[in-house]
Structures are given as structure tokens and as C-alpha cells.
Amino acid sequence: MQMKEIMLGNEAIARGAYEAGVKVSAAYPGTPSTEISENIVKYKEIYSEWSPNEKVAMEVAIGASISGVRALASMKHVGVNVAADPLFTISYAGVNGGLVLVAADDPGLYSSQNEQDTRMVARAAQVPVLEPSDSEEAKEFVKFAFDMSEKYDTPVIVRTTTRLSHSQGMVNLCNRIEVEDKAYIGNPAKNVMMPGNAKVRHLVVEARTKQMIEEGCDFPINQMEYKDKSIGVITSGIPYQYVKEALPEASVLKLGMVNPLPRKLIEEFAASVENLYIVEELDPVIEEQVKSWGIKAIGKEILTVQGEYSANLLRKAIKKEEIEIKPVAQVPNRPPVLCPGCPHRSVFSVLKKLGIHAAGDIGCYTLGAVAPLNVVDTTVCMGASISTLHGMEKAKGKEYIKNWVAVIGDSTFMHTGINSLINMVYNKGTGTVMILDNSTTGMTGHQDHAATGKTLMGEETIAISIPDLCRSLGIHNVIEVNAFDTKALEKIVKEELRKDEISVIITKAPCVLLSKKLSDTQCNVVSIKCKKCGMCLKPGCPAITKKEDGITVINETMCNGCNLCFEQCKFGAIEKMGR
């Protein structure tokens, strides 16, 4: 009897890679893609790693493919931008062993800075895209993608969204296929993309795309489901599930391959239904192409380009039903906050006190932008804090940034912050860079990175020394300080901001959630000493609240004993006590 198991979409993708005979996997953690690698590492037949960023992960997978084995790279949608350089070129060069990129988009912006649609990137790169609609398909489409990659000599993208990545479904388990390694045969005309070779390969890519447009009509992953032909819907991925729930009577063309589009199949379906709708989240990628062929269809005229869809949204837009939706339950508004005991809060408290602006970055420390800290003024993308501070200095001069710092985490510094710091040194910049080293990739759930001393596979390795790395770039002012030593930190920040050269301040304290043990101490308010001044509330620790009479109180179940509030109180109203 065939084994079945309930799996997350990301878990099923990992299983698909295992069953497809993948031997190398590389990734950088990023919600909603992170669990792919966290499940792949369970399969000992696959070498898996956290790479410092998505470009490197893509290049590792490319190298493995060139050597003749099946390889997988995975990342979230914004990571595809980082990996775009090698992706666009390997599209021309093609593969040896199968090469698949899993890109996880985030409609609804649950944990991202934009709603980018990877299909648009794939069209530009001329890379085929497959889009599963449940966990079983997620596994099977990964296997199909590897076969397709080797048949058409192309990398293949499997696109998921948050809803698929993090929802569960039944998956049929199959045995792993041990794919024989392909021989490596030197072929510079194919693998060296200098202009003369690339011009030839571009023709190959164009021919390949035309072939897939034609042959894709017969791919089993594209399915026509005829019912009532008064309504026909072209859809793919998770929106297919909403269509089946909202329009069970409709005929549906479910596309498994969403780039390039199987034109003849779409034309056949469109000609067979009376009213054609195109249901796709985010950009009108399918819709614009179908309409450009002269096919009449309804899409974004009635459907949004923003956020996730739902069955109710389709009922209202297509069937014009008045949906009675229960009012949202009245619960306290809880915006994201730094955890109690987070070392970033200590650093931001000092910067707030000094009136310092921060060019921010992607990570937990982005929360330094919200009240009551309000320190982070800018956040663009991974590694951008140092570069943007440099740009400000070059635009307005050294004095302009005397009350600015760049703030970046240790994992993000290893991702792309290094490049920005090198640029700052090379181009004779000045300014203060603060690396908030909490010894992990905190934002995505505590993954290791090149400075933690441990690999994804759990092996001990060399921990890159961030201070030594900065000094090796020629930076003279590299200072390490305990993130919770606020007095020392305040003194250091003041001193370094006065300098007309580059300073790197590394604030060190592990993420409070890394240790599973409770601290030995915690803080308590001595009510009779409390002056109701509110100083202890300024850092915004969620463990501290104010009673109706104005006296503060510390929730002992939340306090992690960081002592930041203890240092804030000038009246001795907060005391340390054993837990």
C-alpha cells in the first residue's frame, strides 16, 4: 500500500526534491520559503546548505548542475532579484543535471517588503514556470520540473505562494529515483556566456520557448475540466482552489505551466466557453497575453492586483453575490514588537536617547521604525542600510550624517552588507555602521549563517569573525560592545559619530529566543518607589505596562531579565530578583 502523509507545501517540495534524485540544495532563509531547506536537510542523500545570499545559492546549484547532478535552489520572491544575475544567464547556457529554482511569492505581504510576482521575472529571463495548487502537486511538480529541465535544457522555476507553502495537504510518498550523474563534457560555447556565444544561445532559448509553447499543450500538468460552458475560468496555483469552491459549476482550464503559456490549449478552451474569466493573484501575467491574442476575457477589470484572493472574493466579483461576512472579532490591536529582552531594543533605546537617525535594513531590527522607538528612518532591501548611508554622505557631506548610523544584523551583513561596506571603504566614505550581532538569522526562525560556526547540516565549521573581517578591509575603528551595556554603548556612539572616517560598532548579545533556558533573574517594580515618570516604558518592552494609578508593573511571565528597565530607572524603583 502506498504511504501517505500530511505535509506542508514546503515540506512536500523537499520531498519532491528527494524523490527526484536531487543531490545538492542551496538556499538563503526567507519566509515563506524557509521550511524547504529545513526539511531537505532531513534527507541525508542530499547535500544542503544555507548560502550567504540567494545569488550564491543559485550559483552553487548551477555549479552542481554543470557537474552533472540534479540541483535545487530555493528562496523567497525578493531573493529572486538577488539571484537574477546568474538566473538570466543560466537561462541561456542551459543545464547538464536538472536545475530547479523554487521561488515563494508573498501575496498579501505577510512578511515582505513588496508583492513582487516571480512570473514577471521569469518572463524576462525566458525561464519556464510551473505553479502547483496543493501539497501533492507541489511534490509532483518538482519532479516534473527536473524532467522538464533536462529535456528542454533549461532551468525551471516552481512558483509557490505563502498560502501553499504554509498550508497542509495529503501527499503520496514515492521512492527516490537514483538518477545517474551526467558526464561533464567541456563545452565553452554553451557554458561560457561571452557575447559571441551568448548570441548563439539566445537563438536556442527562443527556439526552446516556442517548442514548450507547442508541446506544453500536452503536458499532464495542464488540465481542462469541462462542466457548464456558460462560464469558463483560466487559473493556476492556489487561486484554482478558490475557483473550485466559489464556482463549482464552471468549466476550468487549470494551468500547471504558467510560463510560457500553452497557446493552442488556451485558444481551444476560450473558444469552447461563453464567458471567459482569468483568475490569477498579483499581476495580470496570463490575462495580458491572452488578450493580446485577440481573445475576449474578463480579469483585472473586476479583480484586484493586490493581496490574496478568496472564494468569497470570487463569488462577489464574478457571481455578483452579496456576501454576508461576520464582522471581525474585536481583539486588541497588536502590532509587531521586539521580544522582551531583545538586545536590539537596548541599542535602539540608546540611539533614541541621542536623537540618532538610522538607515535600516531587513530583519527583526526593522521594528526599530515603529513606536515608541522610532529610530529607523529607511528600509529598502537586504544590505541596503550601509549603501544608503554612504549615498547620503556623498550627497550632503560628512557633517550631514553626524547624527545618522547604518543599522544591520549579522546575518544580513553576511548576505549583502559586506559588499556595501567594501564600497564604503573603497569610495572613501565616512560614517558609523552598527552591526547588531545576535548570533543568528532571527527574522526567519534562527537559521545559522557564515558567522555562527555551524552549517545547515549541523556540522561545526569555521565561524567567520565579523570584527576581523571589518579590520581586514582597512577599517581602523572596529569596536565590540555588549548590547545591554547602554552606558558604554552611548559613549562609543558619541565618540565614533564625531570621527571623519568609517567606524563599525558591533553590538553583541544573542537573540533572547536562542537560549531555551529562562534567565536566573528578572525585574520587579517596587511600587512605593515608583515616581510614575514613565522612563522604564520608553524602550517599549511588552513586559512592562502601566496601571490605572500610573505605577508601572512588570509581567513576570514575559520578563527575560535583560535589565534594560532597571538601568532606565533613576529612583531605584525597579529591582533585580531571582526567578
H-type alpha helices, 451-533: 466-472, 486-497
Query: Is 364 one of the annotated binding-site residues?
Result: no
Tell me 115's DSSP state: -
Rounded Cα–Cα distance for residues 486 and 564 (Å): 8
Supply 538's cell numbers: 520608553
Per DSSP, the three-state class of 522 is strand
Rounded Cα–Cα distance for residues 402 and 356 (Å): 9
CB atoms under 10 Å from CB of 84, counted, come to 16
Supply 459's cell numbers: 556540522
Tell whether omega for the bond before 107 is within 30 degrees of 0, i.e. cis.
no
CA proximity to 573, closest of 531, 540, 539, 537: 531
Query: Is 470 one of the annotated binding-site residues?
Result: no
CB atoms under 10 Å from CB of 153, counted, come to 15
Tell whether omega for the bond before 260 is within 30 degrees of 0, i.e. cis.
yes
SS3 content of the chain, % helix, strand, coil (to 5): 40, 20, 40
Query: Is 565 one of the annotated binding-site residues?
Result: yes
Rounded Cα–Cα distance for residues 81 and 258 (Å): 19
Q: Distances from the Cα of 120 to the Cαs of 73, 259, 283, 382, in angstroms? A: 19, 9, 8, 21
Residue recorded with cell 515616581: 531
Query: Is 381 one of the annotated binding-site residues?
Result: no
Residue 298 amino acid letter: I
Residues written for the chain:
579
Report the 3 state secondary structure along 358-403: EECCCCHHHHHHCCCCCCEEECCCCCHHHHHHHHHHHHHCCHHHCC
Per DSSP, the three-state class of 180 is coil
Phi then psi dihedrals of residue 328, to 5 deg:
-60, 135
Q: Distances from the Cα of 364 to the Cαs of 102, 342, 381, 440, in angstroms? A: 24, 10, 13, 11
Query: Is 533 one of the annotated binding-site residues?
Result: yes
Q: Are 341 and 560 in contact (CB under 8 A)?
A: yes
Q: 413-436 burial string, b = 16+ CB within 10 Å, else e?
A: bbbbbbebbeebeeeebbbbbbbb
Phi then psi dihedrals of residue 271, to 5 deg:
-75, -15
CA proximity to 180, closest of 69, 17, 261, 105: 69
Q: What DSSP element (H or E) covers 252?
A: strand 250-255
Query: Is 541 one of the annotated binding-site residues?
Result: yes
What are the binding residues?
Answer: 530, 533, 536, 541, 559, 562, 565, 569
What are the binding residues for [4Fe-4S] cluster?
Answer: 530, 533, 536, 541, 559, 562, 565, 569
